[in-house]
Amino acid sequence: MKYNNPIIKGFYPDPSVCKVEDTYYLVCSSFQYFPGVPIFESKDLINWKQIGHCLTRKSQIHLENVNSSGGVFAPTIRYNNGRFYMTTTNNTTNQNFYVWTDDIYSEWSDPIYVDQGGIDPSLYFEDEKTYFISNGKDDYGINGIVQCEIDIETGKKLTSSRTIWAGSGGRFLEGPHMYKINGRYYLIAAEGGTEFGHMVTYARGDSPYGEFEGYKDNPVLTNRNLGGYEIQGVGHGDLIQDDDGNWWLIHLGFRQSGQWEAYHHLGREVFLTPINFRENGWFTAGYNGTTTKSFSINNISRDVIQNEKKSYTFENTDWDKEWCYLRIPNSANYKFTRNKLSLRGTEITLDKEDSPTFIGLRQRDFNANISCDISIFDGESGITLYMDENHHYDLAIRKKGNGYEVIKKLNIGDIKSVEKTVCLEKNNISLVINASNRYYSFYIRSGDEEVYLGKAQTKYLSSEVAGGFTGVIIGLYAYGSSYCNYAEFTNFKCKYI
């Protein structure tokens, strides 16, 4: 069977996976977006459906005024004695915590905090013991992968935190996960930074505390030397075994916008790479230690068909699952129906580290046609291609004196520029954005007439320009201070080509 990477497209970084009976469950980072930590399920490792989020209540996560790419860092999902656990970091408050649920389709607990530093925490369960693992500095001042035992009911440390592996020598050692396979303990990690030098490394030992011997050919997986190849930044993986005994690595990576254009704006995505264990117990990954755009492999049944959703509308998406907010929203400013969205604007703009009236979908592919009909009564409302508060492109309609106007606004760092203005006599219009790997093109449509408003380069919304760890969100927003400032959005469509 041939499958294509990424298996989950768009800004869903730092994946972690577990398996319960015949179903796989996967979680990803969410940073400043709410709800936090999206959850997916799959029966075949290829096709994934989002089923909810772990952090759905204000009491579970502090996001007020957190910095962009702050908030919720890399989660880990595990299952033990009938209960799911998700552990993560709020990097803004420097707190490691976990939540749990007995029903993954329902609510998760309030957080239980663990007094161990670092980021990217993970759990390992064995013999009624719970091991808590993160990167950072241990109780003796030694840097590396740090581990302690905890009381899973309270989060209280039962042992001191000590470093169990210092990695293979790459920078930014992070993303640790532990497994017991054929009597040995395997510890995998990410190194090199979640950029073009990213990689997966691992070690193994005879106990959860080691000593751990690094794989002599580390990194086991990286695309760092594949110059000009679309898939880059491969790393931060989690191992999983299927029902047939095959092992896989689910990990992040990103797609750069062109062969020789080292920019990525879709965010870090979810990839699947096969693992091959040798007779000596060490394993290799992928094609000569790299991840490719597709794998033809007999480990997956020919009956499995990889399906990809190409069109996203109000009608075929779930407001509580695919859509997200910036930080904690004021629910009074949002009204949802099956085919219409009503937003009430506030004085909070998209340029603030706050919670403007905004709801969005992750951009999942380079080539797309995005459109929406908008009616306003006051203020400004429209579509934003949002990377962070300093990097976003806005196509909007706003009140101007006794009339209205459509604007194309580019926000790149400290430059905030209205590039195009078109006056209108009416208060409703169709906004259209066509996306490609290099450009966004902006239009307004009235009946059969379409007016071109220019284009903007995608690279200015990339991580290489904007910084941070997120990706472009296709957002609908409203802004303004008057009581009458509300907008109605209908006929939204994002179609990938």
Task: Take residue 223 and report the two structure tokens written for it.
Answer: 């695309």
For the chain, domain boundaries: 2-296, 311-496
- 343 by Cβ neighbours in 10 Å (0-12 / 13-18 / 19+) ranks as buried
Task: Take residue 470 and report the two structure tokens written for it.
Answer: 């997120």
The CA–CA distances, whole Å, from 221 to 129, 283, 285, 426 equal 31, 11, 6, 56
Contacts of range 227-232, beta carbons closer than 8 Å, 24 or more positions apart = 228/259, 228/260, 230/255, 230/256, 230/259, 230/293, 231/5, 231/255, 231/271, 231/291, 231/292, 231/293, 232/196, 232/256, 232/262, 232/264
For residue 264, how far is the Cα from the chain centroid? Answer: 14
Identify the pLDDT of residue 448.
82
ω before 261 within 30° of 0 (cis)?
no
* Backbone dihedral angles phi then psi of residue 73, each to the nearest 5 degrees: -90, -170
- Greatest CA span in the chain, whole angstroms? 78
139 is catalytic: no
Are 274 and 289 in contact, with CB atoms under 8 Å apart?
Answer: no
Are 165 and 178 in contact, with CB atoms under 8 Å apart?
Answer: no
Identify the pLDDT of residue 1.
85
Task: Annotate 316-337 with three-state secondary structure.
Answer: CCCCCCCCEEECCCCHHHEEEC
Q: How many CA atoms lie within 13 A of 468 on its CB side?
A: 28
Task: Take residue 466 and report the two structure tokens written for it.
Answer: 């904007």
Are 50 and 320 in contact, with CB atoms under 8 Å apart?
Answer: no
Q: Which of 120, 149, 174, 394 is catalytic?
A: 174
Residue closest to 206 by CA, chosen among 185, 227, 237, 234: 185
User: Which residues are 125's β-sheet partners?
Assistant: 130
Task: Take residue 198 and report the two structure tokens written for it.
Answer: 């990213």
Are 166 and 173 in contact, with CB atoms under 8 Å apart?
Answer: yes
- What is the fold, at CATH topology level, of the domain defined by 2-296? Tachylectin-2; Chain A (2.115.10)
* Backbone dihedral angles phi then psi of residue 59, each to the nearest 5 degrees: -70, -15
pTM for the whole structure: 0.97
Separation CA 288–CA 286 (nearest Å)? 6
Say which amino acid occupies 1.
M
Burial 365-395 (b: 16+ CB within 10 A, else e): bbebebbbbbbbebbbbbbbbbbbbbbbbbb
318 is catalytic: no
User: Which residues are 21's β-sheet partners?
Assistant: none
The model's pLDDT over 81-126, given as tens digits with 9 standing for 90+, comes to 999 999 999 999 999 999 999 999 999 999 999 999 999 999 999 9
pLDDT tens sequence for the chain (497 residues): 899 999 999 999 999 999 999 999 999 999 999 999 999 999 999 999 999 999 999 999 999 999 999 999 999 999 999 999 999 999 999 999 999 999 999 999 999 999 999 999 999 999 999 999 999 999 999 999 999 999 999 999 999 999 999 999 999 999 999 999 999 999 999 999 999 999 999 999 999 999 999 999 999 999 999 999 999 999 999 999 999 999 999 999 999 999 999 999 999 999 999 999 999 999 999 999 999 999 998 888 888 999 999 999 999 999 999 999 999 999 999 999 889 999 999 999 999 999 999 999 999 999 999 999 999 989 999 999 999 999 999 999 999 888 999 999 999 999 999 999 999 988 989 999 999 999 999 999 987 889 999 999 999 999 999 999 999 999 999 999 877 788 999 999 999 99
CB neighbourhood size of 269 (10 A): 27
Separation CA 76–CA 178 (nearest Å)? 11
Task: Take residue 151 and report the two structure tokens written for it.
Answer: 């009381």
What CATH number was assigned to the domain covering residues 311-496?
2.60.120.200
Task: Annotate the chain with three-state secondary structure.
Answer: CEEECCCECCCCCCCEEEEECCEEEEECCCECEECEEEEEEECCCCCCEEEEEEECCHHHCCCCCCCCCCCECCCEEEEECCEEEEEEEECCCCEEEEEEECCCCCCCCCCEEECCCCCCCEEEEECCEEEEEEEEECCCCCEEEEEEEECCCCCCECCCCEEEECCCCCCCCEEEEEEEECCEEEEEEEECCCCCCCEEEEEEECCCCCCCEECCCCCCECCCCCCCCCEEEEEEEEEEECCCCCEEEEEEEEECCECCECCCCCCCEEEEEEEEECCCCCEEECECCECCCEEECCCCCCCCCCCCCCEEECCCCCCCCCCEEECCCCHHHEEECCCEEEEECECCCCCCCCCCEEEEEECCCCCEEEEEEEEECCCEEEEEEEEECCEEEEEEEEEECCEEEEEEEEEECCEEEEEEEEEECCCEEEEEEEECCCEEEEEEEECCEEEEEEEEEHHHHCHHHHCCCCCCEEEEEEECCCCCCEEEEEEEEEEEC
